[in-house]
Structure 1
């Protein structure tokens, strides 16, 4: 059995499952004590902050913050067949792909947490890219989590000077 040295050695999907299972048991008590809307707001803010920090850490771990380096991060998210992706465009200024199957959405559905899946997974993508490289803009209008046929990821380098390696 391979030795786990850090949390980065754990498959990304498994990390999200551990987080979700903890929250599934913790959230009802917090919502009961402080109100559902307030707890969901705070949860969203906390996850965004974590995602931004994760973006910064990934840029460092992968040796840069260009779109090319971002594809290495996305490959990490795909490990274990967690995502099925169709790449539509890929160059130094644009990365466009559709996710046609998402094990993250399937995980939240299986855990009975579909209503939280967007907060726990989908929304973090925007904060992540801000931390990874604030000069890359993500647009996405559809997600599988929300019942669409795909997640339409579109990454565009807004400021060519900002895409330089750190």
Structure 2
């Protein structure tokens, strides 16, 4: 049942990516494609809560601080290569290298990489400040030439 599936997915989240892929592929064989939806749901809920906590501890939940924390502090030190451009309507990040893609490609698991990592970008923004909008049309994980993250303030 779904509670059993959800508890298995919760325990898998604590593993490294290689172990996650192995467990998730096993679950997918047992439970079918609904595993993907459950993974998305668990990752979304946890990511929103995590970034709400970060925003609350920061006291500044604006776009500039989100970009600083996520990109300048976290992603840069993890080996991501990207540019940041502030334009009229928001902030454009173009990611030319993501170390998570290498790991996912090596395991032939870019589909799981997308669901575990790329989809969480929306939840990061939602948790940090629900008045910030987020748009992305390309991801390296899906084979595109870059990830094009765009952050903007929603109209009230």
The aligned residue for residue 116 of structure 1 is 112
The aligned residue for residue 6 of structure 1 is none
Equivalent residue of 2:19, what SS? Answer: helix
- 1: CA distance between counterparts of 2:40 and 2:59? 28
The aligned residue for residue 135 of structure 1 is 131
**Which residue, 48, 60, 67 being the options, matches 1:64?**
60
**Equivalent pair of 1:136/1:156 in contact (CA under 8 Å):** yes
- 2: CA distance between counterparts of 1:65 and 1:22? 34
The aligned residue for residue 29 of structure 2 is 32
Identify unmatched segments of 5+ residues in structure 2: 1-12
The aligned residue for residue 49 of structure 1 is 45
**Equivalent pair of 1:63/1:69 in contact (CA under 8 Å):** no
Identify unmatched segments of 5+ residues in structure 1: 1-15, 161-166
Q: How many equivalent residue pairs?
A: 143
Let me know the Cα RMSD of the aligned residues: 2.2
| 1:139 to partner: Cα distance | 0.5
**Equivalent pair of 1:136/1:159 in contact (CA under 8 Å):** no
Scaled by the length of structure 2, the TM-score of the pair is: 0.81
- 2: CA distance between counterparts of 1:103 and 1:62? 27
Scaled by the length of structure 1, the TM-score of the pair is: 0.76
